[in-house]
Amino acid sequence: MNNELPIGIYNLPKDCRAVILEGGRQIEIRKKKNLPLEPTEHRCCHCKHYVDGHTGLYYWLTKVCDAKPKILSKAMEKRKAKHKDFNAYTLYYSAQRYGKPCEMFELKEK
């Protein structure tokens, strides 16, 4: 069972990639996972609910889904009420730019 390739250059299909395995003496041909999206496919970044917001009681902003507000525990509500700046915050769950969209997905208007 000799799986050795002769020395040379080989063409790979466009939807595949070559990966050098541990030790550097083996390669594996794998399908690409990050193929371009179909025109009908969308991600979180295409949703109108993908906005800047707060996921915790911090000053900085991150990308959140404003359709998914967090329900805070009593301890978190108490902590939020004690601080004048955090009191105005509405906390949301974070959203990944290329995450798969949820059931509340609404396409952004251009």
What 3-state class would DSSP assign to 108? coil
Structure confidence at residue 37 as a pLDDT band (50, 70, 90): confident
What is the chain's percent helix, strand, coil content, to nearest 5?
Answer: 15, 25, 60
**In the chain, where the domains are located:** 44-94
**Is the Cβ–Cβ distance between 12 and 29 less than 8 Å?**
yes
Q: What pLDDT sits at residue 52?
A: 96
More confident of the two residues 33 and 1: 33
Q: What pLDDT sits at residue 25?
A: 84
Q: Got the DSSP string for 6-32?
A: PSS-----TTEEEEEPTTSS-EEEEE-
Percent of the chain with pLDDT over 70: 98
H or E element, residue 65: strand 62-69
